[in-house]
Structure 1
Amino acid sequence: MDYSGLVLVITFFALLLLNVPISFSIGIATAVTMLFTIDFAPAVTTVAQRLAGGVNSFVLLAIPFFVLSGLIMGRGGIAKRLIECAMALIGFLPGGLALVNVMSCTLFGAISGSAVAATSAIGSFMIPQMEKNGYDKNFAAAVTCTSATTGMLIPPSNILIIYAVASGGVSIAALFVAGYLPGILVALALMLVCAGYAKAKGYPTAARLPFSVVFEKVKAALPSLLLIFIVIGGIISGVFTATEAGAIAVIYSLILSVIVYKEVKMSEMSEILLKSAETTAIVMLLIGASSAMSWIMSYVNIPQAISEFLLTLSENPLLILLLINICLLVIGAFMDMTPAVLIFTPIFLPVAEALGMSPLHFGIMIVLNLSIGLVSPPVGSVLFVGCAVAKTSIEKLIRPLIPLYMAMIVVLMLVTYVPAISEFLPNLFGLG
């Protein structure tokens, strides 16, 4: 790394410390470094070209579609039906309400593609319900926050699409399928912690419902769950691409929320479309700015320097992967997922490939790692939403969060060191 690299790093972190928005910090740091490297006119032109080029991708068209479908379904009564379905299926088990919370957040996060939406939609019902039944409010909020992150792994997931772009061409279909087992493992690990915690505290369980009631609750939630199978089934079978799947998800969510469930009125669509446009604009600005930064980092050889440094630290691949995970956990605590994936994939992916890790396996590892960052102070966005919903503080949430956090770390280590967890399903479907 030469002086240009130091300028980039120092400028970027200085702007972050000054509370400059992340997208502007990335863009300004990139422009300053370019000005330090070449003359003004070509520097400005190059930054502009890289900003535009970063979002000039057919694959990225899937993001606004999935954002819109997620917002529609978030208002379409999906959360209520998923909670009732989960309650009917597992509410009678030890720690039943906590398990219902995990299952509901996992399903809603997968359907909506948003951990924040899952935390808000599920948490606004489940946290008061758990507190009413004797659960500690902070524990309930911690369960909601951690389980909501599983939607980052279980498709349709925007962050997996972004990783596909950042990695230079990993199949979105393969990534979508690869995320299932790790996402389910995280949910199961959280459920084990919840069951143990509830048993130790003596929390009550719900009565087992008759089969007819269970059947009705599952049937009511089935149309919502069907979206996952439509999207993945169509992509795997080659009927449509990920971008086309996003458009189909919008049509399906509209029919479900407006016609079937009648929870969304057409008069509300202008507000939903505006919110969708705002969210998409933020994501696309981050992608464009991060793409420009990735280019300048490659230009001044930062990824190569870091790769060489890590590979000279040890000849043990297990140790190097552990160091990468530690770095990403720290990064995730201070940076949002989208810029983190776009900036650090070009840095760490070459190291992972040098160690024999496939880009597909690394993609699941980095997304799971940065998902943990969503519930890590001081910047974890999901953590802030969970605290707002539960009307509590981050300080009070830390203690009940620790065992759940550790469960996620255990799954992260399994995913890191057991490639089959990520690669089994893609290989099974011929996508690996």
Structure 2
Amino acid sequence: MLLTMILLLVSLMALSVPVAVAIGLAGLVGVTFFSNLPLIVLPQQAYIALDKFPLAAVPFFILAGNLMAAGGISRRLVDLVESIIGDTRGGLPATCIVVCMIFAAVSGSSVATTYAIGAILIPAMVAQRYPVGFASSLQATAAELGVIIPPSIPMILYGVAASAPVGDMFIAGFGPGLLIAAALMVFVLIWSRYFHKPGDLEKKPVLPFLVSLRRSLFALLMPVIILGGIYGGVFTPTEASIIAVFYALAVSMVIYRELSLVEMIDVLKRSAISSAIIMFIISMAGLFSFILTRAGIPAAISQWIVETFDSAFMFLIAVNVLLFLIGMFVETSASIVVIAPILAPVAVLFGIDPVHFGLIMIVNLALGMITPPFGVNLFAAAAVGKVSLHRMIPYLVPMVGVIVLCLALITFVPMISLGSLYLFGVR
């Protein structure tokens, strides 16, 4: 049964069938041919998978990110960071990383981060004679912070799928996110020093720090209000997503006045489409997971893993290899919803903290966003930079290597993830 469903799933995706449809058809085959369940189970389980309060945060965080991009918030963040580090050698690529980290603190989406920041910084880097392949690859890689720096949509999905506290996941994401951002900054500063030849280009005028700080003050307050409210116990992550939308709307339309009603319609349309795609994937993945669970497959896999790997060290190595391969072919949200209920309980049996394991899973699967053949960030950055993937790959490979090294540290040094929980007094 499992082999048939997986082969069908892989075959359909190889034929470019949308991920949600492929998962749903595999689930339909499982219900029809390998169980005695009535077909009414299909819509029932699809609905049950979506009937979870934390999932309400997903469309609101997507909308908040799109509002930030359209309302001038993201551009002001770029100006602020450029005023601090823009004059240094490699300052523009470093600006890209820092701005993605700040933007990620509200949007929760790597694709939204790619479009919002890439539209500004990819042309700026190309104008400063950075290769377009390098600029696009860096934007795609830095945007990965959108799912690691809290709040994060994949963290919400993992919390729901693995019954882990979403608030703890958010707090734990700071350590890995800062580590990856710092490692990428070191990489781009070294690369720029030895490989970037700016020539005699006239430098782009950079706004004075105090001027850019004043212009971006309301943009900076956004992550402070959202994250401060969550960690201060004022509102839940789901409620925070709604507050983020209203704050972004007020700043964009009333304070900055850069978002018109006509543009608002386009923002709502794009947000609705993105939200529908994710929710469709979650509902079909929930059905798929239900069929596997009813057949006893997760329990069998758990038993096999426990019997095969005799230590947490070997288990984590095997899981990281497995997740890396899965992330290359399966969308991150779908992977989390299907795999987390299977692997998280096994990780607990090996004495691995479920929050720590969640960060391992999210960072690893996020690599799938920047690796062919289905890296969504790659396609988004390629579209923004108007560059083919083969021109990005030579620059992408060392960046992926940097993330892999960070993943190894996150995996085997639990305090990188869990240290924030102790710092905030959660544990």
TM-score normalised by L of structure 1: 0.93
2:291 counterpart of 1:296: yes
1:32 maps to which of 23, 29, 32: 29
Shift of 1:100: 1.1
Amino acid at match of 2:305: L
2:321 counterpart of 1:326: yes
Amino acid at match of 1:8: M
TM-score normalised by L of structure 2: 0.94
Q: Which residue of 2 aligns with 1:74?
A: 69
Q: Deviations over 1:267-301 (max 9, x none)?
A: 33233223222222221111111111111111122
2:369 counterpart of 1:370: no
2:395 and 2:53 map into 1 onto residues whose CA distance is 43
1:106 maps to which of 101, 107, 126: 101
1:109 and 1:115 map into 2 onto residues whose CA distance is 7
1:271 to 1:120, Cα distance in 2 relative to 1, 3 A: closer
Q: Which residue of 2 aligns with 1:188?
A: 182
Shift of 1:417: 0.8
Shift of 1:305: 2.5
Q: Which residue of 2 aligns with 1:347?
A: 342
1:16-415 equivalences in 2 (<5 Å): 16-39=13-36, 42-168=37-163, 170-204=164-198, 213-415=208-410
2:3 counterpart of 1:9: no
Deviates more, 1:200-209 or 1:262-271: 200-209
Shift of 1:52: 0.7
DSSP 3-state at the match of 1:44: coil
DSSP 3-state at the match of 1:119: helix
1:190 and 1:415 map into 2 onto residues whose CA distance is 15
Shift of 1:311: 2.8
Runs of 4+ with deviation above 6 angstroms:
205-210
Number of aligned positions between the proteins: 425
1:279 and 1:387 map into 2 onto residues whose CA distance is 19
DSSP 3-state at the match of 2:177: helix
1:213 and 1:426 map into 2 onto residues whose CA distance is 37
Instruction: Check whether the contact 2:106–2:226 (CA below 8 A) recurs between aligned residues.
Output: no
Structure 1, unpaired ranges of 5+: none
2:419 and 2:111 map into 1 onto residues whose CA distance is 29
Q: Deviations over 1:70-105 (max 9, x none)?
A: 111120112211111111111233311111121122
The RMSD of aligned alpha carbons is 2.0
Shift of 1:419: 0.9
Deviates more, 1:150-159 or 1:102-111: 102-111
1:109 to 1:206, Cα distance in 2 relative to 1, 3 A: farther
1:38 and 1:313 map into 2 onto residues whose CA distance is 29
Q: Deviations over 1:343-392 (max 9, x none)?
A: 11122212211221111111111111111110000100110111122222
Instruction: Check whether the contact 1:147–1:187 (CA below 8 A) recurs between aligned residues.
Output: yes
2:254 and 2:292 map into 1 onto residues whose CA distance is 49
2:87 and 2:145 map into 1 onto residues whose CA distance is 23
Instruction: Check whether the contact 1:231–1:249 (CA below 8 A) recurs between aligned residues.
Output: yes
1:188 to 1:206, Cα distance in 2 relative to 1, 3 A: farther
Instruction: Check whether the contact 1:94–1:199 (CA below 8 A) recurs between aligned residues.
Output: yes
Structure 2, unpaired ranges of 5+: none
Q: Which residue of 2 aligns with 1:420?
A: 415
Shift of 1:110: 2.9
Instruction: Check whether the contact 1:114–1:152 (CA below 8 A) recurs between aligned residues.
Output: yes
2:20 and 2:222 map into 1 onto residues whose CA distance is 32
2:63 and 2:121 map into 1 onto residues whose CA distance is 25
Deviates more, 1:369-378 or 1:275-284: 275-284
1:19 and 1:140 map into 2 onto residues whose CA distance is 28
Deviates more, 1:28-37 or 1:264-273: 264-273
1:91 to 1:206, Cα distance in 2 relative to 1, 3 A: farther
DSSP 3-state at the match of 2:40: helix
1:245 and 1:130 map into 2 onto residues whose CA distance is 34
Identity within the alignment, %: 35
2:133 and 2:269 map into 1 onto residues whose CA distance is 33
